[in-house]
Amino acid sequence: MTSKMYLSLALHNHQPVGNFGWVFEEAYQKSYLPMIECLERHPDVRLALHYTGPLRDWLLENKPDFFPRIRALVEREQIEILSGAYYEPVLAALPDKDKVGQIQKQTDSIKGDFGYDPTGMWLAERIWEPHLARSIAQAGVQFTIVDDTHFKNVGYVDEDLLGYYVTEEQGNRLRIFATPMLMRELIPWKPVPEVIDWLRVQAGRPDTTGRYAGRARVAIFGDDGEKFGLWPGTYSYIWEEGWMERFFTALEENQDWLITIPPGDFAREHSSLGRVYLPTASYQEIGEWSLPPDGAWELPHLRHTLQIEGRNDITHYMRGGLWRSFMVKYEEVNQLHKKALWVSRKVHSMEDGALKTEALNHLWAGQCNCGYWHGVFGGVYLFHIRVADYQNLIQAENLADKVEDTPFVRVESIDFDHDGVDDLVIATDRQNLILNLNKGGSLIEWDYRLLHYNLLNVMTRRCEGYHRDLIAAAQAGTVITPDSDGLQAEPESIHSTVVRAREGHLEQKLIYDWHRRASLLDHFLGEDATLNSFYRSEYPEQGDFINQAYLQEVTSQSDKELRVRIWRDGKVWQGASQIPVHVEKVLNLEAGSDSVEVAYHLRNDSDSVLDVRFGIETNWGFAGGNDSHTHLAIGEEMTSLAEIASASDVSALRLVSELWNIRADVDLDLPATVWRFPLESVSASEAGFESNYQGTTMLCLWPILLQPGESWRINLKFQLGRLRL
């Protein structure tokens, strides 16, 4: 006779801030709605649901009859609603006030929507750090769910995890459930009888440690709701072919020994298995994805090899990196995170009231986690997600700075990106500029505050560990594309070894930049550098100005005007000789102005003639740069930002985004040759490898011939504006 046990299912439903409306709609039709319909047909199946704030907002506006159906399930005690941090941030990365505030906002919304006071919460990406117990408990939450990875890192085994434990931080207590990876691999990827058989084995497992003496056992399954219909191939498998219907029917048929229960009810009715202190961890895959490229490829392949060999005694203790390493792996993630910290300090210093509440909501929306990391899902590689995060952060900062009150200009030397070296932060009522003095005196963020848009929201092209799989499959001729047979033949988990691509020959787009793509980068090029070699980042750089330190001084400052001088005395290689060269750029900004003027001064400080090409690189993060709504105008010519091209004798150009109502004019007082090309990433997604437009690089190039001691000057004016009022 099979012993009785409990099964607690928790489904996490999420769409990020800024995601396309059609994605919300597809997820609703393929996943969220079918699940509620299935629960209505199976009233004896009890579980927990979590809907993040961005998804809640969309559902309330677009599907007003949906939440009343869920409320009916709550009222008949079939469904438990989980709280969480409203905009689904990585909780560990937030200031404590934002942690508590986001959780309380979600809890309050659940009370209003369902008349239900939640006791548990979903932890975004199960990213856990020990200090979180304090903030979560202070927000009124009693329990959360993590992965078995967290427990196994401190020596627990599968047999120890059929219940919950209690942890604390500074006396603030929190209950913690663990969801086994094996359950995520079974549900829904294996036949229903196999899932039930596994649960029967757990119910009958001998209690060799005495841990369960007098205690009930519960198997916890916590995972994304989107895997039930939205993931590639799953809608047909889960709903049309009836996997979920069979699963819920099997749960009802086995109620004599397998009892479904929401985790909050189990925690309330049963005692804990003891005390636990967990390490910094997330689910296993994030530990792999956050490693540098070689490690991100090697660790999962090594783990897979050992699993085949049955060496669980080794894999049990294997762990990768931690989520915070994404802020090292991707400079763009670090920039976004430090922007959020910067804005948070400003917002929390505001006086309480409606204005601060509005600013907090924008701040918290800008902390939505999807733009802050990358794994199998697009994450930081999704342009529109980064745009939305920046848009909300800039709106929050505008409210904190009261930009509509009085024109101003300010400058601050501070370590903005927290790398140990001060950066230059310039703010006016119309623009924000952040310059990295340690990396070429480059402009790394440029916010047009009027339209809440970061013009430098681009991605540097970099190596990813999974590129090795794409290259190997391309060489073997086994890449499956939309034109291949059997594209959707089988539903696949994120652990699938099949290599899919949304288009052919993506391996040819694997180009890696040797420096961060920023603006006001100073290049010296010889005759061997061509547009193609520059595009492919395979050219000889002859100066030592990129990625090197610049000095700065504020030469003039008032309430209305600012002038900042940035310079470096470096070297240019000319044959076997090193030519000392002075490069100086002076930035001029005015309060109330949408323009930036940059005056360049080059001086040959050697006894030799300097014969070279000098280039100023700018990068432009216009979302939709590869479609008809965004274009570049050079004279009378209108062209795409996604073209690889060169133009001669250019004195002025204009970049336009009709989607964002932005124009940017660039005027040069000396005509230049302009090279341009798109930044395209090749990233992994749940649907396979894909190429995504990430911005456009432009290089304004001039021939320089300077006698010893001779100087050369160029003035640039950048003028921002709206296309229409």
Contact assessment for residue 511 and residue 536, using Cβ atoms and an 8 Å cutoff: yes
Running along the chain, 725 residues long, what does each successive block of 10 average in pLDDT? Answer: 88 97 97 98 98 98 98 97 98 98 98 96 97 98 96 91 97 96 93 96 88 92 96 93 98 97 97 96 93 94 90 84 96 98 98 98 97 90 96 98 94 96 97 97 98 97 95 91 60 63 90 97 95 96 96 93 98 93 98 98 97 97 87 89 95 94 96 97 87 96 97 98 85
d(CA 95, CA 127): 15
pLDDT of residue 725: 66
Residue 372 neighbours by CB distance under 10 Å: 26
Contact assessment for residue 281 and residue 288, using Cβ atoms and an 8 Å cutoff: no
d(CA 485, CA 232): 15
d(CA 434, CA 459): 17
Active site residues: 125, 224
Q: How far is CA 528 from CA 5, 576, 604, in A?
A: 72, 15, 22
pLDDT of residue 489: 46
CA 390 to chain centre: 12
Candidates 198, 180, 191; CA nearest to 247 is 191
Give the start-to-end residue ranges of the domains of the chain: 5-282, 521-722
Candidates 529, 612, 616; CA nearest to 578 is 612
CATH architecture entry for 521-722: Distorted Sandwich (2.70)
d(CA 516, CA 156): 42
d(CA 29, CA 26): 5
Domains 5-282 and 521-722 share a fold: no
Token reading at 453? 């848009």
d(CA 372, CA 381): 10
pLDDT of residue 496: 55
> Cα dihedral angle (317, 323, 328, 329), rounded to 10 degrees?
80
Contact assessment for residue 159 and residue 49, using Cβ atoms and an 8 Å cutoff: no
d(CA 416, CA 147): 34
Token reading at 258? 């397998």
Contact assessment for residue 672 and residue 703, using Cβ atoms and an 8 Å cutoff: no
- For residue 292, whether the previous peptide bond is cis, meaning omega lies within 30 degrees of 0, is no
Q: Which CATH class is domain 5-282?
A: alpha beta
d(CA 363, CA 452): 13
pTM equals 0.95
pLDDT of residue 488: 47
